[in-house]
Chain A
Amino acid sequence: MGFAASVATIIIFIAIIIISTITYPTLVKSFKNVADAKDDKHDIQMDQVNTEIDITDIRDIGGNLLQITVSNEGTTMLHASDASVLVDGTYTNYSVSPSGFWSPQTDALFTVSATTTQDHVIKIITTRGKSDMELYVS
């Protein structure tokens, strides 16, 4: 191999080393992004699978207020104040006890305003999208 060919080979070799050095961090960052996102996806799915709620009772507590007893039947901690309540399909503001952590195998008491002399369909939705629906019969 002549001198020119040797120098040309060295130039290309060095160029490949430099290019690899520049590219490697970008590729690692890309893989890390996807790996982190896969972990998030896994967390989302695990939380959804481990979440289950059940409306066990709906009662009229007077003053056109309904008290809905909802049991956390899953295995993850929920936040009752982050749940959503639909009364006859319409989003309704509510008060809840306990308002903070809602442990598995415990009840949360949701209180919503609704005409208690009429039937209503109550739907409670957790932040993971898991829900339960029950009919209130006046």
Chain B
Amino acid sequence: MNRTYELMFIVRPDMTDEDLDKLISTLQSAVPSAGGSIKNVEKMGKRRLAYTVRKFHEGVYILLTVEGGGAVMHELERRLRVTEPVIKFLTVRIDEEQKRLDKIKAIRDSRKKVSAQPAAPAEDAAAAPAETPATA
């Protein structure tokens, strides 16, 4: 089962950078054993929260892109839940949305090509039906 997920989580703002790196690396090490792989790690930095979460008004946002089945996410979420400094997390499956976007992009690209070229294949299509009555 190959799915792509985005896992965004918020850690408390008073955490040191070393602790944060340690936390991320432990999460990273947990993924391959569950049968997945981490595609990307992005630290989005400290940001003010839109509402108070566990009495914190700001937090450090981290975004992981993970590939793998549901078991991987289950394990990651379990770990996040028991990790004290993590105050909030959100998992979003993105592969289907990405597929849809790719499809739209492909359609748009093909339209561009058609409009750029003069309609050569249309002439072939018009010639083909004209031949069939003659042979019959």
Q: Are the chains A and B members of one assembly?
A: no
**B interface vs A, CB < 8 Å?**
none
**A interface vs B, CB < 8 Å?**
none
